[in-house]
Amino acid sequence: MNVLDQIRDYFAGNSHVFMANLKTHIWLSSFSMLAAILICVPLGIWISRQLKVANYIINAINIFRVIPSLAILALAMPLLGVGFAPAAVALTILACPPILINTYVAFREIDPAIKEAAKGMGMSSLQRIMKVEFPLALPVMLAGIRTASVEIIASATLAVLIGGGGLGNYIINGISMMSKSYLLIGAIPVALLAILSELIFSFLQRKSNYSN
Amino acid sequence: MKYLFDNLDLVMQHFWEHLQLTFSALGIALCIAIPLGFIAAKYRKLQMPITGVLGVIYTIPSMALYAALIPYTGLGVTTAMIGLVAYAQMILVRNVAAAINGIDPMMIEAAKGMGMSKWQIIFKIELPLAIPVVIAGIRIATVSIISIGTIAAWIGAGGLGRLIYQGLNHDHTGKIIAGTVSIAVLAIGADLLFRLIERIISPKTT
C-alpha cells in the first residue's frame, strides 16, 4: 500500500481524531498568542517610556531570547507538570521576546514632533497612546506578532512532549513507528498552518501601514 | 543541578557533540550561502525568487521538515544536517545580500578610479566592508542551529537535546535541568562570542 492510500485510509476511519488534534494545535497556539499579546503590548509601551531602564531590559530579553525553545518547553515540566496549561505557559513565554521588542521599538521610533502636536491639541496621555501612537506603531508591532505566531505554531509541535497535545502527536508517533503516512499527516498541516499565519499577519501588517 | 555535576563527563560529551554538529552545519551552510547571497545581490532579478523560496523553507516548523525528510533520508545525522543547513540559508543569504547591497557605490567608484581590477575590488573593498554584516548573520544562524539542533536529537543527531528528551521521557528532572542549563549556556555563549567578534572586526570610522 503506498503512502497516499495509507493517508486516505487513515482519514476514512479517523478524521475526527485528526480534527481533534488540529483543534488542540490551533487552540493552544492562539491561546498562547493572545496571552503573550495581552502581557507584552502594555509592557512594551511601558518600557518605551522608561528611558533609564529600557536598554537593560531589552538587552536582557535579547539574551533570554537565544535560549532554545525546546529547553523552555522542557523546563515547564518539572516546574508545572504535564498537560495543556504548562505547554500554554511555555509557549506564551516563547512568544514574548519578539512582541515585546517590536512594541518597544515601534513606540520608540514615533516622531517626537507628532507626539508634541498631539499634546498641543490637548490630548490626554491615554488619548495620545490610543489615537496617535498606537495606530502609528501597529505595523512594526504586527511584524513582531507575525514572528511570534510562526514560532508558536512550530513550538506547539513539541508541546506534545509535555502532554500538550496537537499535531505533534503524529510526528512523534510517526518517528517511533517509522510510519511515512503518520509523519506526513503531521508535517503537512503544521507546515501549512505556519505558512498561513505568516501570510495572514504580513497581509495585516501591510494593511495597517498608514503611508500606503 | 546535582545530576549535572555528578555526570559532568557525560554532559560535556553531549556538549561537544552539539558543538560539532553546530559548526559542521554552519560550515556547509556558509559554503552554499556566500555564493548564493552574492548572486542574489548582483542579479536583482534572482533576489526575489531566492529569498522567497528560502523564506518558505524557513517558515516550515523544523519538526515538520524533519518529519517530511525522514521517509527519504532516514533517521540520523544526514537528515538533521539537511534541516540545519536549510534553516541557516535564509538568515545567511539575506545578510550576505544585505551586506553587499549596503556598500556605498561611491566607494566602488573610487576603487575603480584608483585602477583596481574586478577581483581586487571584491577582495579589498567589498569583502572587508561586508564582513561585519555577514558576521551578524552568522551569529543569528549559529543560535538558530543550536536551537534546532536540540530538536534534531529526536531524530538521532545526538547532542544536548538527547538529555532533554531522555529527561522528558523518564520524568527525570535532573536530566531536564542538566540539558536545558547546558544548552542555554551554549547558546548564550555563542551569541556573546559572535557579538564580540562583530565589535572587533567592524571597520573603525573616524
* Structural domain spans, chain A: 3-207
Any idea what the Cα angle at residue A153 is, between residues A168 and A183, rounded to 5°? 30
Nine-digit cell string for B54: 528560502
**Chain A nearest-CA residue for B75:** A175
A203: closest CA of chain B, how far (Å): 16
State what percent of residues in chain A have pLDDT above 90.
57
- Measured from the Cβ of residue A14, the count of other Cβ atoms closer than 10 Å reads 13
Residue B83 forms contact with A (CB below 8 Å): no
**ipTM field:** 0.83
pLDDT at residue B179 above 70?
yes
Most confident residue range from B101-105, B120-124, B126-130, B182-186: B182-186
A78: closest CA of chain B, how far (Å): 6
CB atoms B168 and A174 under 8 Å: no
pLDDT at residue B206 above 60?
no
Residue B196 forms contact with A (CB below 8 Å): no
Residue B146 forms contact with A (CB below 8 Å): yes
Q: What is the mean pLDDT of residues B47-54?
A: 89
Residue B198 forms contact with A (CB below 8 Å): no
Cβ-count burial of A84 within 10 angstroms (0-12 exposed, 13-18 middle, 19+ buried)? middle
Nine-digit cell string for A75: 523546563
Residue A209 pLDDT class (50, 70, 90 cuts): confident
Nine-digit cell string for B146: 543550536
Cβ-count burial of B117 within 10 angstroms (0-12 exposed, 13-18 middle, 19+ buried)? exposed
The CB-side HSE value for B16 (13 A sphere, CA atoms) comes to 5
CB atoms B176 and A74 under 8 Å: yes
**Chain A nearest-CA residue for B149:** A68
CB atoms B60 and A66 under 8 Å: no
Which among B63, B65, B176 has the least Cβ separation from residue A78? B176
Residue B168 forms contact with A (CB below 8 Å): yes
pLDDT at residue B22 above 90?
yes
CB atoms B176 and A162 under 8 Å: no
Residues A96 and A48: their CA atoms lie apart, in Å, by 16
For A139-155, the pLDDT digits (tens) are 999 999 999 999 999 99
The CATH superfamily of A3-207 is MetI-like (1.10.3720.10)
Query: Average pLDDT of chain A?
Result: 90
Helix, strand, coil % in chain A, rounded to nearest 5: 85, 0, 15
pLDDT at residue A212 above 60?
no
pLDDT at residue A27 above 90?
yes
As separate numbers, helices (DSSP H) first and strands (DSSP E) second, chain B gives 10, 0
For A78-127, the pLDDT digits (tens) are 889 889 999 999 999 999 999 999 999 999 989 889 989 999 999 998 89
Q: Which residue in B68, B61, B66 sits closest to B76, CA to CA? A: B66
B68: closest CA of chain A, how far (Å): 6
pLDDT at residue B121 above 60?
yes
Q: Which domains, ranges and CATH numbers included, belong to chain B?
A: 2-201 (1.10.3720.10)
